[in-house]
Amino acid sequence: MAYVLVLNSGSSSIKFQLVNPENSATDDPLVSGLVEQIGEPGGAINVKVNGEKTREELEIPDHTFGLKRSLEIMSERGVGPTDVELVAVGHRVVHGGRLFSEPQLLNDQIISMIEDLIPLAPLHNPANLDGIRVAQQILPDIPHVAVFDTAFFNGMPPAAALYAINNEVASKYDVRRYGFHGTSHEFVSQQVPKLLDKDPMEVNQITLHLGNGASAAAIRGGHPIDTSMGLTPLAGLAMGTRSGDIDPGIIFHLVRQAGMSIDEIDKLLNRQSGVKGISGVNDFRQLRQMIEEEDADAWLAYNIYIHQLRRFIGSYMIALGRVDAITYTAGVGENDSEVRQDALYNLDMYGIKIDDERNESPNRDPREISAADSDIKVFVVPTNEELAIAQKAAHIADEAREAGLF
């Protein structure tokens, strides 16, 4: 059985999975793991093999050490890179700018292009590149593939992709809407035409990726025509800890009146805002608990979250003209039936009717939750970004082998 090692390297962490690209979205990977606190106190490597978890606490000076030790732990447990047929390493890369609309086989030229995009994602791309370099060093004979979080949205119509700001400044500094969570929106939206039994080219749909980060996309015939995230993943919906859309004037106000620095505002909007900024928690299970206990802040946070979601759904219905399906995915979208109900509540006049019993069903499979007479179908489709990366990486690796590169 062929496997792909999927790596998601952050500045102080590495998430990894060993995935069979033929899995379905709800199958567990053979291995999943997390290297925590690289270069900081409290380092640890968590590895789960066939559902069995281990945790090793140790100092992890850098990414090289963290990945090497993780692969050793996998080998000790009989699932190392030489124990299985490893066909590719798939790297999640956050920002592909305008350069990449497809996954890429990593070579020096592609790596240098990803370096060129660092100004657009100064925290994410360098960490992704660290992971790429380390993994290439440790596994030099395997094709390495970069899969970009922005790629799906490259090619959106200019009216949606460009901001109404000064043209010269925008083009000089590459200021435009890039969109994120593309791998998930693509993976989920590709399943919808099958559920509708329609030609993908004929399907107009809205996908709602509601995890800790959250984004919406409007997709016509397989191509996105709008999405809620922008130059960065801070834009759009209110999220777990991110503000989503705000008046940009708020930033000037905080600089001038509160004397806050750019870094402080960055932290405020990315980590101390959203649902957490209002209620104190970012996990929807805790938020729900607090709402049940009649906590006013939790209720307010929830209402802002839902209001923002309805705003985007409404505007995408107009942008698409005709909508065949609205699909929920990711942690909140897959699990929180009340969010699903409230975001589409009282829209019968627009042809949207949720079936309560279907919506409450704890099924894990892709499924319909709209009523039989709902004109617009509403679905829940589990996402699996690692599986999507594994599938893309395996495909590119096959092509590289056919071309005699490996």
Pairing of strands 52-57, 31-36: unpaired
Say how many residues touch ligand ADP, by CB under 6 A: 13
Residue with tokens 């990945």: 67
Catalytic residue flag (residue 149): yes
What is the distance between the terminal CA atoms of the chain, rounded to a whole angstrom? 19
CB of 359 to ligand ADP, least distance (A): 13
For residue 316, which of 212, 172, 216, 187 has the smallest C-alpha distance?
Answer: 216
Based on CB atoms, which residue is closest to ligand ADP, 149 or 368?
Answer: 149
Q: Which of 149, 226, 336, 342 is flagged as catalytic? A: 149
Q: Using CB under 6 A as the criterion, what x/- string covers residues 333-372 for binding ligand ADP?
A: --xx------------------------------------
Q: Is 125 helix (H, G, I), strand (E, B) or coil?
A: helix
Determine the interface stretch with ligand ADP among 75-83, 193-201, 282-290, 349-357 (rule: CB under 6 A).
282-290
CB of 27 to ligand ADP, least distance (A): 16
87-98 core/surface letters (b: 16 or more CB in 10 A; e: else): bbbbbbbbbbbe
212 binds ligand ADP (CB under 6 A): yes
Based on CB atoms, which residue is closest to ligand ADP, 284 or 302?
Answer: 284
CB of 1 to ligand ADP, least distance (A): 26
Tell me 191's DSSP state: T
Based on CB atoms, which residue is closest to ligand ADP, 213 or 224?
Answer: 213
For residue 116, which of 95, 134, 102, 92 has the smallest C-alpha distance?
Answer: 95
Q: What angle do CA 191, 194, 199 make, to 5 degrees?
A: 110
Q: Is 104 helix (H, G, I), strand (E, B) or coil?
A: strand
Pairing of strands 31-36, 14-19: antiparallel
CB 196 within 8 A of CB 324: yes
Using CB under 6 A, pick the residue from 142, 332, 344, 376 that binds ligand ADP: 332
285 binds ligand ADP (CB under 6 A): yes
Determine the interface stretch with ligand ADP among 37-45, 51-59, 193-201, 283-291 (rule: CB under 6 A).
283-291
For residue 378, which of 387, 389, 369 has the smallest C-alpha distance?
Answer: 369
Residue 333 marked in a binding site: yes
236 binds ligand ADP (CB under 6 A): no
Based on CB atoms, which residue is closest to ligand ADP, 285 or 307?
Answer: 285
Crossing angle of helices 262-271/249-258, nearest 10°?
120
Determine the interface stretch with ligand ADP among 20-28, 73-81, 167-175, 210-218 (rule: CB under 6 A).
210-218
Residue with tokens 């299985």: 84
Q: Name the closest residue to ligand ADP (Cβ).
A: 331
Distance of CA 335 to the CA centre of its chain: 16
Residue 123 marked in a binding site: no
Using CB under 6 A, pick the residue from 33, 43, 211, 274 that binds ligand ADP: 211
Using CB under 6 A, pick the residue from 10, 97, 277, 331 that binds ligand ADP: 331
Residue with tokens 């500094």: 173
Beta-bridge partner residues of 226 = 218
Binding-site residues from annotation for Mg(2+):
8, 385
Binding-site residues from annotation for ATP:
15, 209-213, 283-285, 331-335
Binding-site residues from annotation for substrate:
92
Q: Which residues are catalytic?
A: 149
State the residues that interact with ligand ADP by CB under 6 A.
Answer: 211-213, 240, 282-285, 330-332, 335-336
